[in-house]
Amino acid sequence: MDGLRAGLKAQPVVAAVFVIMWSSGFIGAAIGTAVSSAVTLLMWRFIVVGVLLVTWQFVIRRRRLTLREVAVLALLGIFSQSIYLFSMFKAVELGVTSGIVSLVDALQPVLASTLASLLLSEYISLRKWAGLAIGLLGVGVVISGDLGLRPGVPTWAYAIPFVGMVALTVATIIERKANLRTSLSDSLAVQCGASAVFFTVVGLWTGQAPMSTDGQFWLAIAWLIILSTMGGYGLYWIILQRHGVAYVSSLIYLTAPATMIWGYVMFGDRISLVSAVGLVVCVAGVYLVHRRNSAATSEQPSSMPPTAPQMELPELSTAYRPSRVDGGEKASEETP
């Protein structure tokens, strides 16, 4: 956590704004799913973002990718964005608080990376196994404390966010096997476009495609695009360039308590004493895993853009290092 302390001393305002922007995605999910389904909300969010990014990258800038690159990136988008985010939003729609979802979400990339390493027969240290066990224990304690406060929420709804863990595991394996060398901006455009198509098909098939006329729905869309996508992702890559993976990952760990505070202020979501204890246990487990990563990894981002949040960037593929966040330049090969 030395990177976190140094970064916070250098730019506390930027760090605080990033945590707020990154956690805003979970609040946007709560705002939107209160008046529409998760499918409808995500469909229109990705239609807007996908059209903007695809038009900018491939029409205005005339970027070109091979058919294989497009196919792999689209598949990554389905797993790392579509299925992953749907599991988050669906849990919120069913009544799981945004704070609980953000806590489970903060642990998922660590779990996904570990499971992918296990399936790929890669070495996993004892410290990492211990950290994951402690983190999962903490999540269990938090959920047990939350169940008593929200008897109307089905117990199985708390398991839905873990579907995202499976999706991230699949995406991680695909990325490591594919070994792509595409730029971040190209990757993000294709993945968002693929997610727009995915949710449009699901929305039309299930009858959830019609947009809502409720003002709160469009507030949620604007909230997710401006605060979460532009604010969260934009600051993510700016901070990543200036301070590195260890620091930006540490900030992402702070989004769970930040989201819980947002939820309490905006929706009156209470936090039980048991849940507070579980939160501390979970943070301790993540810290135990992170200590090794912060000391051993370099500042190499993955070619799979973070969805919300992607903490194990150093353990994903590291085939490129962009010289500018959105410069559209091909990155230098190091060895997605």
Token duo for residue 115: 């499971």
What is the reported pLDDT for 188? Answer: 86
Euclidean distance between CA atoms 116 and 114, whole angstroms:
5
What is the reported pLDDT for 7? Answer: 46
Buried b (16+ CB within 10 A) or exposed e, 238-264: ebbbebbbbbbbbbbbbbbbbbbebbe
Q: Mean pLDDT throughout 303-330? A: 36
Helix H or strand E segment including 83: none
pLDDT in tens, 31-87: 999 999 999 999 999 999 999 999 999 999 888 899 999 999 999 999 988 998 999
pLDDT in tens, 198-239: 999 999 999 999 988 899 999 999 999 999 888 887 787 777
Q: Is pLDDT of 292 > 90?
A: no
Q: Is pLDDT of 11 > 70?
A: no
Higher-pLDDT residue of 316, 287: 287
Euclidean distance between CA atoms 312 and 249, whole angstroms:
8
What is the reported pLDDT for 29? Answer: 92
Closest CA to 282 of 159, 44, 154, 111: 111
What is the reported pLDDT for 148? Answer: 64
Lowest-pLDDT choice from 21-25, 84-88, 169-173, 328-332: 328-332
Lowest-pLDDT choice from 162-176, 179-193, 318-332: 318-332
pLDDT in tens, 184-200: 788 889 999 999 999 99
Q: Mean pLDDT throughout 246-267? A: 77
Q: Mean pLDDT throughout 234-259? A: 73
Higher-pLDDT residue of 288, 49: 49
What is the reported pLDDT for 299? Answer: 42
Helix (H, G, I), strand (E, B), or coil: what is residue 46?
A: helix
Higher-pLDDT residue of 38, 270: 38
User: What is the distance, to the nearest Å, from the Cα of residue 17 to the centroid of all Cα atoms in its chain?
Assistant: 17
For the question of whether the overall pTM of this predicted structure is more than 0.85, the answer is no
Higher-pLDDT residue of 42, 145: 42
Token duo for residue 197: 């198509």
pLDDT in tens, 129-143: 777 777 777 777 777
259 contacts 310 by C-beta, under 8 angstroms: no
Q: Is pLDDT of 286 > 80?
A: no
Q: Is pLDDT of 115 > 60?
A: yes
What is the reported pLDDT for 250? Answer: 66
Token duo for residue 116: 């992918």
pLDDT in tens, 88-103: 999 999 988 888 888 7
